[in-house]
Every structure is written in C-alpha cells, then in structure tokens.
Amino acid sequence: MDPITNNDVIVLQLDSKKSTIIIGSSILASLATLIPYKKWDVIVAIVSDTVYTLHKEVIDQSLALIDAIAIPYTDSEHNKSYAYAERYFNQLLENRCTRNSLVIAIGGGVTTDFSGYIASAYMRGVDVVYVPTTLLAMVDASIGGKVAVNIKAGKNIVGYFHQPDYIIIDIEFLQTLPRSEWRCGMSEVVKHALIGDSSTLTLLLNKEIQYGRIDNSLYNCINSSVRFKASVVEKDEFEKNIRAILNFGHTVGHAIESLLEYTVSHGDAVAAGILIESYISMKEGMPKADFDCIRDIISAYNLLPSISFDSYKIVNHMMYDKKNIKGKTRFVLLESIGKPQIGCEVNDALVKEALNFYLTMVSK
Ligand code: GLY
C-alpha cells in the first residue's frame, strides 16, 4: 500500500464567505500552520467525548499550539438540542469569547452541527473551523454550512446557514471509526456517486474502497466526494435550486428515520431511501440496467438495513417533509445514473409499490 503523502486544498468561493477545505493524513498535528490562529482573540474547541478519548494526545498537542481551550461534548442527537446549547453559550462567555473569537468543532456530524449552531448564534455569529472525524462528517455534514439543533417537535428544526472558515479533513481519524459509522458515511458517498460524482462511482464499481483500509483509494474517494459536494454548494449556497439534488434518498430516508423514531441510523435510512427512490426513478423511466447497478453497489457495501415499516404510514409521514411545496411531496429522481432531477411529483401508489419492493427484498 502506498503511503498517503499528498494534502489537497479546495477553496470554496461562497456568497457569504470563503471557505477552505484541507484534506490529508495526520494533518491535525499541523493545525497551527493550517489556520491563521493568531487572528482570533480566544479559541474554544468543542470536542466530542468519544473522539477525545481515542485521540487525546494529538488533540491536546494540536490545541496547545494554538492556545485553544477544549470543552468536551457528549455527542448524541439528544444533546444536539436547543436546550443543551445554552450551557455552551455560557461556557463561551465564561471563557471571555467575543465576536472575534473562534469555535473549533472536533467530532462527527452531531458535533459539527451543534458547534456550528453555537458559533452561528453566539454574539450573532463567530467564526468556526471544523475537524470532522467520521466519514459522514467529512464528505457531507461539515461541508455547506448547514448548522442546526433539535427541538422536541423534530430534528434540525432550528438552524442557519453559517459557513466554516476552514474544514480540516484528517483521514487518520477513520482508523478508529466503528463499522456502523462507516456505513453511514458510505451511504452519502454512494449518493454523491449516483447524482454526479463520476470519479467516486468508478472507485465504487471497482470495489476499491474497504472498511478499515485507510489507503489512497479511500483518500481519492473522500477527495472526490468532498469536491463534488463543494461544487454543488458553490453553485447554490442557500439551496434555492440545484443544491436540492443532495436530498436524493432523503425524502424516503427521513420518513423512515422519523417513523421508526430514530431507532434506525440516518445512514441506514438513507441507504434504504436511495434504493427506494431509485426504484421509483426506474418506474419513471431510468434504465433498468442503472437500477441493477445501484442495487449491486448498495449490496456490495452491505448498506441495506433489514428494517420493517408500514408503507402506508411512511407515505403519510412524507407530508411533513421540510422540502414539500404546497403540501405535495417532492422527490429527487434519477433520469439515469449521474442525472438527477429535482422537484418530481410521484403518485402515492408508486411510492407504496417501491416501499413494498424494499420490504420484500430485505425479508428474503
Ligand atoms: N446534506 C445536504 C446538504 O448539505 O445540502
């Protein structure tokens, strides 16, 4: 296996600000040279407990070099809440953070979403740097500036677009990633591949990526997936049109997650959603060969969860989707692999047929 020696820098020129992504291996140790840390008066790092336990030495050393104060965070959807946020606002205040301070988030998507929310709201917004440590956070959650917390009524209901100044993607963190988290990230990687990230599609078709193998293929896959998402966000920062393609698999995925009361992970729900929405796409004209290819990829990476649900209730649940327009559920469908279409209306009977297809398939 060749050592990973190259770092890559991607600069996003967004309407709201410039956001720089740096991807490499073992780069957190160089944090002091990667970000202009002297420009901020106080630096506070919100660090996922899990990640801190596993990588304490490198995190402590990197934060010490930039005089950052570490605040631990027990990352869970429960703690990604509006109620829990208040204690972090207080901690920023206790540490004398001003409008010229910086929040660094080190952790998975829950930590980056939560810390991003804290940064977006504290004193009407301070700068934020992300150090995503899961595959999902690296290729998806940390890119694009969506930050949010949950309230009792639902997930990600309260939030903003608040772009990070820097995203430091150190793939060494993936050495300790649990398999379940790996699958969550892979669902988003597959999604990108199907809606236009052709380089990753080739890697996936060649079965070059494997859980636990931190090599050049994985590096290239993350690099291409990140570049793909960045290019979409750059075209449409505030999701007025094209950015909506990133919701492929999520209309059904969110309904499954919510109906099953979050007992199924986001990644598993999205993987199921991708297959179900691909089935709908096929019935609306996508070539069957493309559907078979999608099914093969998702199966090869063992992404499909064996879940059971009431198809009728899922269809009803979709009525609550944030992306609905005038009460109508809208889907992102594929004309073919790599050609997504946004805003597609689908009749309920076809959605039910696709859901039932999935149930039959996973029960075999
Ligand atoms: N996760 C979808 C987006 O960032 O737009």
Q: Is the CB of 246 under 6 A from ligand 1?
A: yes
Domain ends where: 205, 232, 259? 232
CA of 168 to the centre of ligand 1 (A): 18
Q: Which pTM value belongs to this model?
A: 0.94
Q: Has residue 115 been placed in a domain?
A: yes
Q: Which of 273, 344, 352 is nearest to 312 (CA)?
A: 352
**Tokens standing for residue 94:** 């206790």
- Atom number, ligand 1, closest to the C-alpha of residue 144: 4
**What is the domain range of residue 279?**
248-363
Say yes or no: 221 and 341 in one domain.
no
- Atom number, ligand 1, closest to the C-alpha of residue 244: 5
The one catalytic residue among 191, 227, 254, 330? 254
At position 319, the amino acid (one-letter code) is M
- Atom number, ligand 1, closest to the C-alpha of residue 141: 1
Say yes or no: 52 and 136 in one domain.
yes
**Tokens standing for residue 7:** 């770092």
Q: Has residue 119 been placed in a domain?
A: yes
The one catalytic residue among 247, 257, 277, 330? 247
Say yes or no: 300 and 228 in one domain.
no
Report d(CA 27, CA 12) in Å as an integer: 20
SS3 (DSSP) at 40 = coil
Q: What is the pLDDT of residue 1?
A: 46
CA of 57 to the centre of ligand 1 (A): 32
Say yes or no: 217 and 102 in one domain.
yes
Q: What is the pLDDT of residue 148?
A: 94
Active site residue 250: yes
Say yes or no: 51 and 97 in one domain.
yes
Active site residue 17: no
- Atom number, ligand 1, closest to the C-alpha of residue 233: 5
At position 200, the amino acid (one-letter code) is T
CATH of the domain at 128: 3.40.50.1970
At position 132, the amino acid (one-letter code) is P
CA of 93 to the centre of ligand 1 (A): 30
- Other C-beta atoms lying within 10 Å of the C-beta of residue 309: 17
Q: Has residue 3 been placed in a domain?
A: no
Q: Which parts of the chain sit beneath pLDDT 70?
A: 1-6, 320-327
Say yes or no: 276 and 165 in one domain.
no
Active site residue 146: yes
Give me the number of domains the chain comprises.
2
Let me know: does 354 contact 361? Beta carbons within 8 Å.
no
67: region left, alpha or beta (phi > 0 left; psi from -120 to 50 alpha): left
CATH of the domain at 287: 1.20.1090.10
Which pLDDT tens digit goes with each residue over 174-191? 999 999 999 999 999 999
Beta strands in the chain, from DSSP E residues, in sequence order: 8-13, 18-24, 43-48, 68-73, 102-107, 127-132, 146-151, 154-161, 166-170, 330-336, 339-345
Say yes or no: 82 and 151 in one domain.
yes
Active site residue 87: no
